């Protein structure tokens, strides 16, 4: 079995660019986000898992978030330019998840998405490890795990869109076409100029619903994948700027390359299932 190396590599680059950008943008608020968080600590998972996801409440001292932030930023930049190493990916996931759990009131669905895909990125094979001889049961298991992680990351993005779209169907605001009208007349969000556009509001409402529900199907074919991803760029950038959730918007876009399938990929990650 094979996975497209260029897609996997570009995905690694974009999620770590997002991570570096997020950390830099959060520096002005670092003290109240992490050193003296206003949110109460989460209970966390039981046993050793708590040490992995809540480092600042277990084995890292209180007030050490800023040094850890600098380490995490350095590792994110390294992962943009350097070769992939599973132990670096593990450390990045653990530190980022711990920071997110420490300031969970300020986290969004984008942070949860990145935390999820960073975990599965631990198991994505590096080019060097995957193009070597695949003999022995350990290498075979590693190959299967790498392919599984690749597809789990892909499906995670589809689930994020699909579940969001299905959840909108449970109420009446989206199914009756006036959800965007409510948003447009909200003084905290706006944009207020849309409030008087009449038919445009239900059109936008149903278009967003169709985009989110259609994404899990559209990405399987190149023509529809291209169209849906272009729509996704417009949708996320617009909502990110209008609603002040640019980090969440860019988190979704950073995951798009996992679904890229270049017309001509000269180098792929080979994962043979036979000795």
Q: Is residue 192 part of a domain?
A: no
How many Cα atoms are found within 13 Å in the side-chain-facing hemisphere of 4?
A: 14
Q: Is residue 274 part of a domain?
A: no
pLDDT band at 192 (very low <50, low <70, confident <90, very high): low
Per-residue CA distances from 222 to 88, 161, 165, 226, 228 (Å): 33, 18, 22, 6, 10
Q: Is residue 186 part of a domain?
A: no
pLDDT band at 275 (very low <50, low <70, confident <90, very high): very low
What is the residue range of 105's domain? 2-168+219-265
pLDDT in tens, 75-112: 999 999 988 899 999 999 999 999 998 888 888 999 99
pLDDT band at 270 (very low <50, low <70, confident <90, very high): very low
Q: Is residue 182 part of a domain?
A: no
2: helix, strand or coil:
strand
**In total, how many domains does the chain have?**
1
207: helix, strand or coil:
helix
DSSP state of 269: E
Q: Is residue 41 part of a domain?
A: yes
Q: Is residue 136 part of a domain?
A: yes
Q: Over 80: is that where the pLDDT of 198 sits? A: no
For residues 258 and 137, the model is more confident at: 258
């Amino acid at each position: 079995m094979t996975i497209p190396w260029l897609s996997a590599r570009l995905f690694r680059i974009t999620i770590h660019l997002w991570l570096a950008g997020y950390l830099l943008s959060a520096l002005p608020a670092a003290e109240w986000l992490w050193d003296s968080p206003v949110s109460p600590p989460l209970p966390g998972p039981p046993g050793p898992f708590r040490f992995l996801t809540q480092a600042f409440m277990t084995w890292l001292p209180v007030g050490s978030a800023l040094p850890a932030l600098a380490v995490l930023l350095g590792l994110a930049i390294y992962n943009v330019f350097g070769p992939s190493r599973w132990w670096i990916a593990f450390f990045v996931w653990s530190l980022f998840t711990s920071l997110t759990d420490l300031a969970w009131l300020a986290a969004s669905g984008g942070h949860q998405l990145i935390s999820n895909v960073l975990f599965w990125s631990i198991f994505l094979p590096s080019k060097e490890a995957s193009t070597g001889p695949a003999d022995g049961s350990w290498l075979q298991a590693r190959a299967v795990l790498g392919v599984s992680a690749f597809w789990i990351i892909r499906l995670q993005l589809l689930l994020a869109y699909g579940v969001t779209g299905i959840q909108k169907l449970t109420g009446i605001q989206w199914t009756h076409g006036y959800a965007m009208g409510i948003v447009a007349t909200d003084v905290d969000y706006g944009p207020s100029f849309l409030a008087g556009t009449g038919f445009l509001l239900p059109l936008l409402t149903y278009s967003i619903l169709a985009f989110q529900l259609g994404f899990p199907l559209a990405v399987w074919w190149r023509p529809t994948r291209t169209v849906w991803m272009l729509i996704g760029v417009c949708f996320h950038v617009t909502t990110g700027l209008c609603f002040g959730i640019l980090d969440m918007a860019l988190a979704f876009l950073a995951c798009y390359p996992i679904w890229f399938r270049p017309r001509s990929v000269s180098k792929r990650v080979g994962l043979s299932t036979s000795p």
